[in-house]
Amino acid sequence: MFIGHFAVALAAKRAAPRASLGTLVLAAQFLDILWPVLLLAGLERVEIRPGDTAFTPLAFEHYPISHSLATTLAWAAAFAAAYYGITRYGRGALIVAALVASHWVLDWITHRPDLPLYPGGPLEGLGLWSSVPATLAVEVSMFAAGLALYLGTTRAKDALGRWNAWAFAAFLALAYLGAAFGPPPPDVRALAGSAFGVWLLVAWAWWVDRNRVPAPGAA
């Protein structure tokens, strides 16, 4: 899942209005930020195998550190503890923990059975990616709902706050369609390098939120 993770980050602003959207996106994408580091270190493995599922050419062979359920819960607790230590915002800490954990749940819905419950444990996955129309319907609907919640929870301070939010959403939608219907990455190293681009989206989300404030009643 791609924009589904951004969808839950956008929606989470309603539950934790004092948390930056950049932090919420970082939490929702945290496992996929760890993953390319572990790929390049040789600790996890993926193959580019067009046709492995209908929706993606990626065959996730081994990623127990970043994407097992047990380690996901540990990462969620660590992320929340670090966030609370910096901000002392208890509600925000609970929400970022939930966002980190939500990544595994959403991947469990989309992936074929390749997600370990714990390192070396059984593999799980419902396989939504076996259907392109179903995947698009679910993710696009989630993204539209998440964006609506974010825009309803915040209001723009100025023109930049208004148009930057829509530019961010449009870029995510175009990137999603490009990943869904574009050519596969040429090799694993290029794939890992492109995955680091999520940091730019975290920074962009922070910038969007800097020019928006909680809507009346949201706080």
Residue 178 belongs to some domain of the structure: yes
With a cut of 90, say whether residue 138 has pLDDT above it. Answer: yes
Cβ neighbours of residue 213 closer than 8 Å, sequence gap 6 or more:
154, 155, 157
pLDDT band at 216 (very low <50, low <70, confident <90, very high): confident
Task: Map residue 52 onto helix, strand or coil.
Answer: coil
Query: Is it the case that residue 217 has pLDDT exceeding 90?
Result: no
Range of the domain at 56: 3-214
User: In this predicted model, what pLDDT tens digit does every residue of 67-101 receive, in sequence order?
Assistant: 999 999 999 999 999 999 999 999 999 999 999 99
pTM of the model: 0.95
In terms of DSSP bridges, do strands 58-62 and 45-48 run parallel, antiparallel, or are they unpaired? antiparallel
Q: Which of 82-86, 176-180, 197-201 has the lowest mean pLDDT?
A: 176-180
HSE at residue 109, side-chain half, CA atoms within 13 A, is: 12
| Model pLDDT for residues 142-161, shown as the tens digit of each residue | 999 999 999 999 999 999 99
pLDDT of residue 179: 87
In a domain, 90, yes or no: yes
Q: How many domains are contained in the chain?
A: 1
* Residue-wise pLDDT tens digits, 11-38: 999 999 999 999 999 999 999 999 999 9
Number of Cβ atoms within 10 Å of the Cβ of 89? 16
Position 163 confidence tier, pLDDT thresholds 50, 70, 90: very high
- Evaluate whether 31 touches 198 at the Cβ level (below 8 Å): no
| 219 belongs to a structural domain | no
Look at residue 2 and tell me whether its pLDDT is greater than 90.
no
Assess whether pLDDT exceeds 60 at residue 219: no
Euclidean distance between CA atoms 75 and 105, whole angstroms? 14
Mean pLDDT in the chain? Answer: 95
Per-residue confidence (pLDDT) for residue 210, from 0 to 100: 96
pLDDT category at 130 given cuts 50, 70, 90 is very high
Residue 218 has pLDDT above 70, yes or no: no
Residue 98 lies in a domain: yes
